[in-house]
A and B are shown apart, each in its own frame.
Chain A
Amino acid sequence: MKLNTNAEITWCPGCGNFGILAALKNAVNDLVAEGTPKENIVIASGIGCHAKIVDYINVNSFYSIHGRVPPTLTGMKLANKNLVAIGFAGDGDMYDEGISHLIHAAKRNTDITMVIHDNRVFALTTGQFTATSPRGFRGKSTPNGSVENPLNPLKLMLSAGATFVARGYAGNPNHLKELIKKAARHKGFSFVEVLQPCVVFNNTYQEYNRKVYDLSEDNHDTSSLDAAMKKADEWKERIPIGVFYEKESKVFEDNF
């Protein structure tokens, strides 16, 4: 299936976004092959490097504004429950600008998927710290290092009531593809945090390649919120990817 558009891809060579785009395209191909009508797939993005993804794949899309993807998708689902709505946002977009929307979408259990391109830096604005930048991060707005601790998005989402919480790695597009498919199929709010190296402002490839491991090889119980919380704390030595938590629950738009 032709999923390319005529748009010229303007991400930096080596950008983690290429891995995410490849994973998305393969996920869409699989979903369509497995019976999801292509016309029912709709994606949305915020503003930032991540957001260009809507131009690079030939599916329905809404190029939204900074931080506002969750309500945009919620509105779509309110209008048409058959849509498979997948949102993309960056860490600055979602954990800074629009964090309240993310929390509320999780709390509502709207049947949407949010994929967060978390490169732990504002990249398109040329390198400032975000809500997930490590303390001490040196950027143009924090020449002496950021004085704020990063937040833990997975724990935040687990506490907010997200019914599907996962983490992928842009350096492992095949694994990420499976996560996006699972998230899209999950009935309820799905959260997929993606470790995304930024080759210019925060190159984490080496660190992630060394630390990342697949949760499914670790006998992790995805039905346990406690286990998920514990795994979400793991970061220093090893970084787990895969499905942390999964649960069935009534979705928001089915109440109308």
Chain B
Amino acid sequence: MNTVTIGGKAGEGVKAFGKLFSKIISQLGYYIFVLDDYPSLITGGHNFNKISFDKKPLYSHYVETDVLVAIDEKTIKQHKNELKKGGIIIYDSNSVKSKGIGVPSLDIVNEVGGTRIMRNVALLGALSFVLGIDFKYVEKVLKETYPKAVEKNVAIAKKGYEFAKKNSKKVMVLKKIGSPKDIMTGNTAIAYGAVNAGLNHYIAYPMTPATSILHYLAKNSSKFGVKVVQAENEISVINMALGSAYAGAKTMIGTSGGGFALMNEALSLAGMSETPLVIAEIQRPGPSTGVPTYTSQADLNFVLNAGHGEFPKIVVAPGTNEQAFYKSAEALYLAWKYQAPVIVLGDKHLGESIKTIEIKLSKAKKAKGKISKGGKNYKRYSITKDGVSPIAFPGTKDTIVKSSSYEHDEFGITTEDPVVVKKMQDKRLMKMKSIEKEIEKLEAVKVYGRGKNVVLTWGSSIGAVLEAAKQLKNVKIVQPIYMMPFPKKEVAKHLRGAGKIVCVEANAMGQLADLIKLHTGIEIDKRVLKYDSREFNPTELLKQLKRWLK
């Protein structure tokens, strides 16, 4: 396992470097994990990427660095202590003074007639030589990524490569070890999963760190046949989505905690009107504006309790790219099967880290639902055994489809009759029973390894836990993926009779641990909590886990 850290100011191509390098490494067949760390500003500041890669599956980035690539001075100051013994620095010698390999990247860019932002490509070329990567892979990735500016980019990378060849030595030789790996961010995986399940519409208002779903689907709108709309605010987003689903379109929306707060009234409307809807809630640290471009898992209680009144709701929290893809598809499938809102709870670390992904498209669930042909006697809210009323859409001949936010009878007409009110609430809550049964058949809890001790975790924190666990013995890792309905039997099964139990999550209160107590009565007092707005660092986490499990 090795790590490259690249740093510079916002607007200097740090993220682009991370993307390019992860593509090159993935071409060689390596597993990758890229942390993209950036503050909330457009130019200046300090951005960095940590690109870790390994021959075997890799679940997290590492902080400890083999090669530090510095576009600016601050990168060296901030990250030189993270260098492993024997680690080296590659830097832009036109703007930085340092030990290591100084690449005159601005000179190189100027020689080729490029722009200042292309310094990252010169450094990428130099890095590729130092890591012993055949230049043809660099060239291939540049061609694919910048089809309109291939020549300049390749020329700059080549000059950087040749400069390093003349002035430094290889620190390793990375050869092709397997077939190229696919990479994407968790947000892309969420979007892609929904698309594979049959998504028709995506509606959103920009909010970090959910915005990249909007960008990805907007860019690929024609390719995927998905209509993408940016609405005037989150309240409009969710109401537009409900109108869209009422008229038959499979619809997803996306936001973060603050935007989701605005959506709450209509979330309850989705519950009452029994309108299928998927909401991607990509968490960032709160309360309030919080720390917008960083990560957190503190919205679990919020989404579980979101929406006034009592209605069936599903919350699924994927932790890996693969889960993001499959569970997002599953979310659309469940939303339509049970005509209920489904929340896909992600976070910045899952959503914006580029990772290797190994999926089979054919394994993704498809959204269908119990569709009615309508007819003169059609009742939108007919009472059925499983609580699911066959759904028809406006535009169906001889059919009247009446949906309502108000308590209603089977036809959809307002009622305040206590007998009907109770009957309809029972009908809706019956769906929750049906959903509970279905969840038991899906992968609601993911268990890794065997052992007497149990490490519990959820969402993106699974990554660092799995890395730490590579160094631990006698440990079973239990990751609940469905949070509502909560797979209490299965979780309890793993906890009863266990040795030590530790719960790892990125919030200050231990929300999963409390949820487990609520559902199983099992008290988990060993809690490893991180709430400094940064993701878990697997090396530090390993130390903490060793202490707890001793």
Give the interface of A toward B (CB within 8 A). 5-7, 37, 39-40, 42, 44, 47, 52, 54-55, 58-65, 68, 70-80, 82-83, 100-101, 104, 256
Contact = CB atoms under 8 A, between A and B. Distances in A.
A6 B236 CA distance: 32
A82 B397 CA distance: 13
Nearest to B415: A7
Nearest to B222: A256
Interface string B277-303: 000000000000000000000000000
A65 B412 CA distance: 15
Contacts of B235: 68, 71, 101
A80 B401 CA distance: 14
B404 A63 contact: yes
B236 A83 contact: no
Contacts of B414: 7, 52, 55, 63
A7 B409 CA distance: 11
Nearest to A10: B414
B246 A76 contact: yes
Q: Which 3 A-B pairs have the closest CB atoms?
A: A75-B243, A75-B244, A79-B247
Contacts of B405: 47, 63-65
Nearest to B248: A79
Max chain B Cβ within 10 angstroms of own Cβ: one of A44, A79, A83: A79
Nearest to B200: A79
A47 B540 CA distance: 54
A104 B231 CA distance: 9
Interface of B, secondary structure class, is mixed
Contacts of A39: 394-399
B406 A63 contact: yes
B232 A55 contact: no
B122 interface: no
Given A62-B403, A65-B266, A42 B394 contact: yes
A60 B243 contact: no
Nearest to A103: B232
Contact of B245 (A65, A75, A101, A256): A75
A4 to B, nearest CB: 12
Contacts of B398: 39
Contacts of B239: 64-65, 68, 71-72, 75, 101
B242 interface: yes
Contacts of B246: 62, 72, 75-76, 79
Contacts of B406: 63
Contacts of A75: 201, 203, 239-247, 249, 251
A79 B201 contact: yes
B400 A59 contact: yes
B269 interface: yes
